Structure 1
Amino acid sequence: MPAKVVPTVPASTARRLFLGAQGLLDDPTRRSTPAAVRKLVQKLGYVQVDSINVIERAHHLILASRLDGYEPRMLHRLLENDRTLFEHWTHDASVIPSEWFGHWGVRFERFRARRLAGTWWEERFGGKQDKTLAHVIERITAEGPLKSSDFECDRGARGGWWEWKPQKAALELLWRSGTLSIARREHFHKVYDLTERVLPDYVDLPVPDNRAHVDWACATAIDRLGIATTGEIGRFLRAVTPADVRSWCEAAVTADELVAVDVASADNHKAWRGYARPDWERRVKRLGVAPRRIRLLCPFDPILRDRARTTRLFDFDYRFEAFTPAPKRRYGYYVLPILEGERLIGRLDTKLHRDRRELQVRGLWWEPGVRPTRTRMSALRSALGRLARLVGADRVSLPGI
C-alpha cells in the first residue's frame, strides 16, 4: 500500500485555524457576561495569570481583547463565587475550567512523588516540615481562608535563597499537592483554603489513569492549536511527557484521528511537520472572516506564548523585555503586539498613569511594509480607547505619534 502523501499547508491557513481556535476570529462585540467569559476560558483552554500590572493584569487583558464589554468582576465572580474556574499551574499560573480538576489530580500525585524524591522542599522548613504543615492545616481548618502574611515567622527562619518563611513554603506545598486551593486573591496575594471548601462540586472528580490523562491533554491541545508539532502539543498544558505525546500522535494517525501535514513557514524558513484533525480543511472553510479592527494583545496572550511558533505562523519576532535591563531593550518594558485582522502588524510600548488616569503610548513600531494610513491609525485609536475604558483611564496620550 503506497504511503500517504503529506499535504503542505500555507502558514496563512495554519494561522487562521489557530486564530479561530483562540477566539480571535469571533465577534468581540457580542454580549459580555460571566457565562460568556466562562465559555471563552473553556475555548482557550486556560488564561495565564501574571503579577505585572503596568496597564492591567494579564488575565484581564487576554479576555478583554476578545470581549469588548469584559469587566474584571466577571472573572472574579467565576473564580470566587461560582467556582466554575480555578487557579493552578499549566505552563505557568493560570485560570482553568473547574470541570478539569480531576486531571490536576495527576499533577498532584506527580508533585508528591517528586517532593519525596528530593530535598528541596525539606530545606524550606528547617527540619520542621511535618510540624509546620500540620500547623498551617490546623489554622486554616479552624479559621478559614488565610494568606502567607497571616502567619508569623521567627527572624532568621526563612528557607534559603528563595527567602520563603516555612509557613509560606507550607502553603505553596499544600496548594501544589491539592490539599489547599486558592479561595481568592487580595492585592494579588493568594488566599488559601481547604480544597473541599473552595471546590466542593469538583474536589471528588475521579483522577484518570495515565492513558486517559494523556489522551485528554493531547486532544485538548490540538483542538486549541489547530495544527501543531508534537513539542507544541506537549508544551500547551505541560501535563505529559514528550514520549507520551509522540506515542499519542502515532496512535491517533493510525486511528485516523489525526493527519500529518507540513506547514510552510511565514518567515521563509523550511516547512515544519505538524498534526491536525482529519477535517482541518472543512474547519478552515467554516471559519468566519476576521473582524475589521485592531486588537491590542497582552504579552502573555496564548498566540504569543510560544515565540518560535509565533514567528513561524506570523513572521513576527516578539520578545518580552520586562526582565531585560532598560539599556538593552529594543522596544520597551511592557509592549503590546498589534493584531489587525489575521496579521500582527506592529507593537506599542504603553504605561498607565493611575494618578492622573492617563494611558500613555511611549512608542509605536510598525512591521516592515505596514503603513500608518488614516484608516489604520483610526482603528488603533479605537483600540486604545477600548483599553483605556478597561483600565479606567480618562485619556490616551500618543506624544509624537
Structure 2
Amino acid sequence: MTPHRLSRDDARRIAVRAQLLDAERPADPVEVAEQVGWIKIDPTAVIAPCEQTMLWTRIGEAYDPAHLRKAVERDRQLVELDGAFHPVSALPALLVHLRSHAEHPRAKEWLAANTRFRKEVLARLRAEGPLLASAIPDTAKVARSNDSGWWSDNQVPRMLELLSLRGEVAVVRREGRSKVWDLAERVHPAMPDLTLEEARRAIAERRLRAAGVAKHSGWTPVQDAGEPVQIEGVKGTWRVDPEALAALDDDPGGRVAFLNPYDAMLFDRPRLEAVFGFAYVLEQFKPKPERRYGLFAHPILMRDRFVGMLEATADRKEGVLHVQAVHEFLPFEEEEREMVRQEVLDLARWLGLPLSDISDV
C-alpha cells in the first residue's frame, strides 16, 4: 500500500501518546503495562527504582507502589519475566519467543550437563515452593562462566532464570529485592499454544502499539505490523499503528514528564534521535569527569520534545530530595520553568520527601 505521510511533529505526538505520556493519565499499572508493553525492573534508586518511576510518571499522584504489588502478587494481572513486568495477556507469545532464546546451543549444553541439578531444583519447588533461590542447594555439576561479573558463583539463580525462559518456573513475588520462585504451572494461567511465527507476529503488533511509530527492523523491530509511513525529514520507511494514526486529531495535549533512564520511552535510541532530535546517552557508567548531566539524570519531556535533564537524588537517610540541577537544553520560557517546577514538587510529594532547597528549582 502507499505509505502514509507524517510530519515529525505528528510522529512525535503519536509516539508520546503511545507511551501514555500525554495529558490523559492511565488509571493503574495494568493499563500502563498493556499499552507500554513492559515495565522495566531495575534496582537503581537514585530517585526511585525504574518500575516505580515508570508508573508514577504516567499515572501521577494517584499511583501507590502497593498497586503494583497487588497486580503482581494477588490479582496475577502482571507477571515478572526476563527483567520486567508484563501483562498476562502477553504471556503466551512472550514465552514462545523467550523459549526460542533459551534454546541457544550454549544454554542447551549447560542444561544437558546439569540434568540432575535441573531435576533437583524442580523437585524442591514442587515439594516446598514457593522458595527463594537461597533455599535451594547448588548441586550443579558444571558452572557457567562469570566473566561479566553480573552473577555470583551460585548456579541456582542462573538455573532458575533459564528455566523461567523455558516456561518451567516463575516468579511469584519479591521479598525485598529477592525473587520468590515456584513452578510455572502454579503461577501462570492456562494459555493457548502458539507457533513461533504466531508469537513473533503478536509481539510485533504489541511493540508497534507501544511505540506508535517505529522502523521495520532495528532496536524496536515491528516487522510488517501496522501500515507503512514516511516521516518528513526522516530517512527510511517506517510503520505506524493505524489506531494511533486515526486518533491523531483527538490528541489531548501534552505535559511535563521525568523519565527514568531505563524507561521504555528511551529504549530505542536511534528513534529518539531521528524523530525527537534527542541523542540520549546514559552517563551511569561514564567516569565522573566525563559526565555532563550527572550519574543518573532523568530526561525531561515537555509535551513532545526533550528539553532538559533533571539531576536529583532522593536521600532517604537525610529525608530530603536534593535537586542538584535542572539542565536546560535551551533556556526555558517562564511558563515552561513553572511547569517543570510543579512536576518537581509533585515528585517530592510522591516520594514523601521535602525538597532540600526549593530555590534550586
Would you say same fold, with TM above 0.5? Answer: yes
Cross-structure match for 1:273: 237
Structure 1 residues 281 and 81: CA distance shift in structure 2, 3 A: closer
Q: What number of residue pairs does the alignment pair up?
A: 356
Structure 1 residues 141 and 328: CA distance shift in structure 2, 3 A: same
Note the 1:92-103 alignment, pairs <5 A: 93-103=83-93
Cross-structure match for 2:232: 264
Alpha-carbon separation, structure 1, partners of 2:322 and 2:68: 26
CA contact (8 A) 1:357 1:393 kept: yes
Structure 1 residues 84 and 389: CA distance shift in structure 2, 3 A: same
Matched, 1:315 2:308: no
Alpha-carbon separation, structure 1, partners of 2:207 and 2:266: 15
Structure 1 residues 352 and 96: CA distance shift in structure 2, 3 A: same
CA contact (8 A) 1:157 1:165 kept: no
Partner SS for 1:66: helix
Cross-structure match for 1:18: 15
Partner SS for 1:65: helix
Alpha-carbon separation, structure 2, partners of 1:317 and 1:311: 5
Note the 1:332-351 alignment, pairs <5 A: 332-351=294-313
Cross-structure match for 2:34: 42
Partner SS for 1:62: helix
RMSD between aligned residues: 2.7
Alpha-carbon separation, structure 2, partners of 1:101 and 1:281: 27
- Report how far residue 183 of structure 1 moved: 0.7
Alpha-carbon separation, structure 1, partners of 2:346 and 2:134: 36
Q: What residue ranges of structure 2 are gaps of 5+ in the alignment?
A: none
Note the 1:10-159 alignment, pairs <5 A: 10-28=7-25, 32=27, 36-68=28-60, 69-89=62-82, 93-115=83-105, 118-120=108-110, 129-153=114-138, 159=144
Alpha-carbon separation, structure 2, partners of 1:185 and 1:319: 31
Partner SS for 1:17: helix
Structure 1 residues 227 and 111: CA distance shift in structure 2, 3 A: closer
- Report how far residue 341 of structure 1 moved: 1.8
TM-score w.r.t. length of structure 1: 0.80
CA contact (8 A) 2:136 2:156 kept: yes
Partner SS for 1:345: strand
Partner SS for 2:314: strand
Q: What residue ranges of structure 1 are gaps of 5+ in the alignment?
A: 237-241, 253-257
Structure 1 residues 179 and 296: CA distance shift in structure 2, 3 A: same
Which amino acid in 2 is paired with 1:263?
I
1:224 pairs with 210, 213, 216, which one?
210
Deviations 1:257-306 (A, max 9, x none): x44222134xxxx533212245665321122222xx42211112222111
Deviations 1:336-378 (A, max 9, x none): 111222221111111111012111112221113x32x443333
Note the 1:177-188 alignment, pairs <5 A: 177-188=166-177
Alpha-carbon separation, structure 2, partners of 1:107 and 1:273: 26
Cross-structure match for 1:287: 251
CA contact (8 A) 1:385 1:396 kept: no
Matched, 1:356 2:318: yes
Partner SS for 1:24: coil
Partner SS for 2:174: strand
CA contact (8 A) 2:53 2:260 kept: yes
Structure 1 residues 329 and 121: CA distance shift in structure 2, 3 A: farther
Partner SS for 1:376: helix
CA contact (8 A) 2:229 2:238 kept: yes
Which amino acid in 2 is paired with 1:86?
V
Name the % identity. Answer: 25
Structure 1 residues 278 and 400: CA distance shift in structure 2, 3 A: closer
Structure 1 residues 379 and 209: CA distance shift in structure 2, 3 A: same
Partner SS for 1:77: helix
